[in-house]
Amino acid sequence: MVSAGANDGKTPPIVSLVAGGVAGGIEAGASYPLEFAKTRVQLRSQKGIPTPKNPFLVVTQVYQKEGLRALYKGCGSLVVGSIAKDGVRFLFFDQIKISFADPETGTLSPLRNLLAGMTAGVVASITAVTPTERIKTALIDDARTEKRFRSGFHATKVIYAEHGILGLYRGFVGTTLKQASATAFRMGTYNILKDFETTRDIPQNTLTNFANGSVAGVVTTLCTQPFDVIKTRSQSAQGASTAEAVKSVLLDYGVRGFWKGTTMRLGRTVFSGGILFTAYEAVAKVLNPLYSKMYDTIEEAAS
C-alpha cells in the first residue's frame, strides 16, 4: 500500500497493523446502517412480502418502526471485528506482497496481487472475522425475531454456552471463502490500480485513493456476493451449516438468491471501500515518519 518504511522503503508491520485497524473501525462505523440493511435482506423474510432492493428504503423503514438504535444493532461487534480484521489484512497483505513482488521493480503482477490478498483474507477469517461476523449477524436476526440477546457480549455468552466454541465459528467455510475472495479482489484491485497510476505519474491523493477504493469495492461485491449470502444464512440466530445455508437459499429464491442483497452491498462497498483505503493511506502517512524517527533514535542509541 503505502511505500514508506524505516530505512528500506517498505511499510513497517506495526504501521500496517495500526493504520489498517484504525481504517477498518472508521469504515465499519460510518457504513454500518447499509450493512444492517443488506443483512436484513439476506435473512429469511415472510413469504409473499416483497423485500425492498433500495438500501435507503430499508434503513428508513427500520428507523420508522424500530428507532435509531435498531439500525446499529450489532454495530459494536462489527467495529471491533473490523479493527482486528483490517489490521490483520493490511499487516499480512503488506508483508506477503513483499515476498511476492518482482525483485527488480518492487511491483506485483495482477495475479500475484490477487494471491497476496487471498492469503491475507484466509488469515483474517481465522483470527477475527468469523466469530465477530457470527455475533453481528445473530444480533441482527435476533432483533427481528426472538429478541433474546441484550448485547454483543451477551450474545457471545449465550451462543458459547449453547454450542461451544464451534457455535462462534458457524459459517466458517462461507466466511473464509468470502474473505479470501473479497480480500483478493479488494486489495488486489486497489493495488493494481495504484501500481498502474504510479507508473504513469498519476498523483496519489485523497481523491485518487477514494476512487480506487470505490472501484475495488464494486469489483469485490460483484465477484463475491454468493459467498456473502451463504455466510449470512449460516450465521443467523439459530445458525446453519454451509450445506444447509446453500439449500435454504435455493429453496427460497433459486439460483438468483445467491445475489440477494447485491444492490444493498454495492451501496455500502462503494462508500466503504473509498473510506477504508483513504483512511489507511492517511493514517500510514502520519505514522510512517513517526516510526522512522523512532527507529533512527533507537539505532543511534544502540550505536
In sequence order, the 6+-apart residues with CB closer than 8 A to the CB of 158 are: 148, 149
Q: Can you say how many angstroms the Cα of residue 66 is from the centroid of all Cα atoms in its chain?
A: 26
**Structural domain includes residue 1:** no
Q: How confident is the model at residue 4 (pLDDT cuts 50, 70, 90)?
A: very low
Quote the cell numbers at residue 38.
443488506
Q: How confident is the model at residue 154 (pLDDT cuts 50, 70, 90)?
A: very high
Residue 151 has pLDDT above 80, yes or no: yes
**Structural domain includes residue 24:** yes
Residue 287 has pLDDT above 70, yes or no: yes
DSSP class of 51: P
Q: How confident is the model at residue 1 (pLDDT cuts 50, 70, 90)?
A: very low
Cα–Cα distance measured from residue 261 to residue 115, given in angstroms and rounded to the nearest whole number: 27
Q: Helices marked H in 235-261 — which ranges?
A: 242-253
**Structural domain includes residue 190:** yes
Residue 3 has a pLDDT of: 40
Residue 52 has a pLDDT of: 67
**Structural domain includes residue 303:** no
Q: Cα dist. 5→62, 98, 151, 197 in Å? A: 46, 12, 40, 21
> What does the pLDDT look like over 41-66, one tens digit per residue?
777 555 556 666 676 788 888 888 88
For residue 45, the enclosing domain spans: 13-298
Quote the cell numbers at residue 282.
492517511
> What does the pLDDT look like over 236-276, one tens digit per residue?
767 778 888 899 889 988 998 898 878 878 878 888 999 99
Q: Helices marked H in the chain — which ranges?
A: 13-42, 55-66, 68-71, 75-100, 110-124, 130-143, 152-163, 165-168, 172-199, 206-234, 242-253, 262-302
pTM over 0.85: no
**Structural domain includes residue 2:** no
Domain count of the fold of the chain: 1
**Structural domain includes residue 222:** yes
Kindly report the CATH number assigned to the domain that includes residue 228.
Answer: 1.50.40.10
